[in-house]
Amino acid sequence: MAGSLVIVESPAKVKTIKKYLGSGYEVTASNGHVRDLPKSTMGIDVENDFEPKYITIRGKGELLAKLKKDVKKADKIYLATDPDREGEAISWHLSKALKLDDSEKKVFRISFNEITKNAIKDAIKHPRKLDMNLVDAQQARRVLDRMVGYSISPLLWAKVKRGLSAGRVQSVALRMICDREAQIDAFIPEEYWTLEAELLTSYSKKAVTAKFYGTKNKLNINNKAEMDKILEALKGVSYIVSEINEGERVKKAPIPFTTSTLQQEASKKLNYSTQKTMRLAQQLYEGVDIKGKGTIALITYLRTDSTRIAAEADAAAREFVGKSYGPEYVSKNVVTKTNNNNVQDAHEAIRPTDVNLTPAMVKESLPRELFRLYQLIWKRFVASRMENAKYKTTSVKLSAGDYTFTMSGSKIVFDGFMNVYTDDEEKVSSDTIIGKLKVGDELKLEKLLDVQHFTQPPAHFTEASLVKALEEQGIGRPSTYAPTITTILARHYVVKEQKNLYVTELGQIVNSMMVNYFGSIVDKEFTANLEQLLDSVGDGSVNWKTVVSNFYPDLESAVDQASKELENVKIADEVTDVICENCGKNMVIKYGPHGKFLACPGFPDCKNTKPYLEKIGVKCPKCDGEVVIKKTKKGRIYYGCSNAPECEFMSWNKPSSIACPKCGSYMVEKGNKLLCMNEECGYSENKPKEE
């Protein structure tokens, strides 16, 4: 008797699903996509209503031949690719490549959010037809991305260097990083001071710290003169408790992980890159060999922007919390929604497939990196079904002459979800001493701490904060965050140093071209609106070819205009006065993965290369050498002395040839300002306009 054939995406799932379905089912894998647009051409028939020209992916012929044989033997075909639009598209491509529409076989589409026995059996019981809206949503994205890439990338190849690429989402991500870099470069620090009093009480030998507040209203201390005036007024005053307020504070339990929040938290707590997080999560989803249980999937589907949890999983988690921690720990109200309009809610949040399978139970079976990610997901899910943490808070006001100081403390009265899932950044100042104070108590001053500070520029993007920003702006979707970041790093547009992302010289050039010639492509609002249109294709309210046909004319026009304007751009190698010591030719400036370098024009006979030290026409403020543009090992730009390593001068900002008129120190460019680098001076002026 002919059986049933189940086709999944990944070979890693085959063994687990076969175990759940039994002997009546044959399970095999497509290894991802089997058809795609050709690499050699754009592969879109613009004249014929933007019809895509799909071909079999190179190397998939043998696999397809095997799948066709498997199809012949079966009477029912179940297309069981991943439960998202990419998975839906793979099922559709399989249907076309295997000619399932023309066969007399019974063909079904099944999907499941987790690879468990119940989920697989339930999917088989409730098969459906292919969702062509989801297929068209994937086609629209693929076609738009191909149009952008294949239209713009050749211009980058011709004018900058081969191998570069532009992308619909990656170019916006690069612009966001460049814009943040510009904000940091333009930032002018502002001086401010803080004042703290270390005080002794009659209740303890340990001092408590009170912060300067002001008078009736909060007072900011902007400079040393203001600070000196306050310090003078505080001489000989008494520090007396004038007011005590007690209250409660609630720390809310977290919501379960989405793709974005998992990537952010894994970066923060485990130091995992977005790509690494997704690779490990994929393994946990597809199945891991657990001692005594065989191969089982440990988490639900990893690409989601929903925080919804299935009713059975919710009930199981609450039961687990009640038994393990006590009924008082079980949450009475659970927040399951975010206020994000872009949420698709197609499937659940990321959670363990079985909450009773604790991290301790699987620790011996998992490599360390997999275990740490599973533990993070498990703890977050369990915590989401627990009560909020509650604190008792005490705030104290002290009168000191005409001024007021404040102190605050808190202690946990109920740990709630923090019994399972704590935030390392949560610092609780003990109120054991503060809680004993009474109105009228006089405290003895030990010392006053006056400290000068300067405001800090915006933080550089990290992978985690970039993912958060992309999500907040509505750019990209759960499946695109990690590939987008991976691409801009691989292209050397951006480098990563100690978690921070820095734009390279190459990235600045590419971004500048994109902003100047393809403004709408790198416009955040335009991209976010386009994402929403593509989501509308997925729910069937917009035709995918309408989106593409409206987008293409503007892209074509921008490419034509850019091509004409760039025709006159000189692309010949720039000859320098640096002589090649091997063959005597004048070396030329070339572009490499990290930007400019010097190369011998006699290549391939002479393969001599060396770093290109670009002078900026400014003398070194330390040794009078030449200031040149340099790069870190990874490609981040800075300014250093040509006499290095003998001279250690370096600056992240471009030094100016204009000395500070106030103190004579060197100044640097900060946006449209020049700023003195002597902290005690702080002089700044507008940058002279370039001729």
Let me know if 325 is a catalytic residue.
Answer: no
- The residues, ordered by sequence, that sit 6+ positions from 632 with a Cβ below 8 Å of its Cβ are 495, 497, 638
Q: How far is CA 578 from CA 218, 614, 629, in A?
A: 61, 12, 16
Burial classification of residue 624, based on how many CB atoms lie within 10 Å of its CB (0-12 exposed, 13-18 middle, 19 or more buried): exposed
DSSP H or E stretch at residue 609: strand 609-611
Cβ neighbours of 647 (radius 10 Å): 15
Q: By C-alpha distance, which of 375, 175, 356, 343 is closest to 269?
A: 375
Other Cβ atoms closer than 10 A to 334: 16
624: alpha, beta or left? (left if phi > 0; alpha if psi -120 to 50): left
Of the residues 272, 285, 301, 612, only one is catalytic, namely 301
Q: How far apart are CA 72 and CA 2, in angstroms?
A: 9
As a whole number of angstroms, the distance between CA 586 and CA 64 comes to: 55
Cβ 351 vs Cβ 314: under 8 Å: no
Residue 310, CA distances (Å) to 300, 317, 353, 379 in order: 11, 11, 11, 17
Q: Is 502 exposed, middle or buried (0-12, 13-18, 19+ CB in 10 A)?
A: buried
Alpha carbons 687 and 651: distance in angstroms, whole number: 18
134 vs 477: CA distance, rounded Å = 14
Residue 54: closest CA among 35, 39, 32, 33: 35
- CA 484, CA 670: separation in Å to the nearest integer? 30
Query: Furthest-apart CA pair in the chain: how many Å?
Result: 100
Buried b (16+ CB within 10 A) or exposed e, 286-309: bbbebeeeebbbbbbbbbbbbbbb
Active site residues: 301
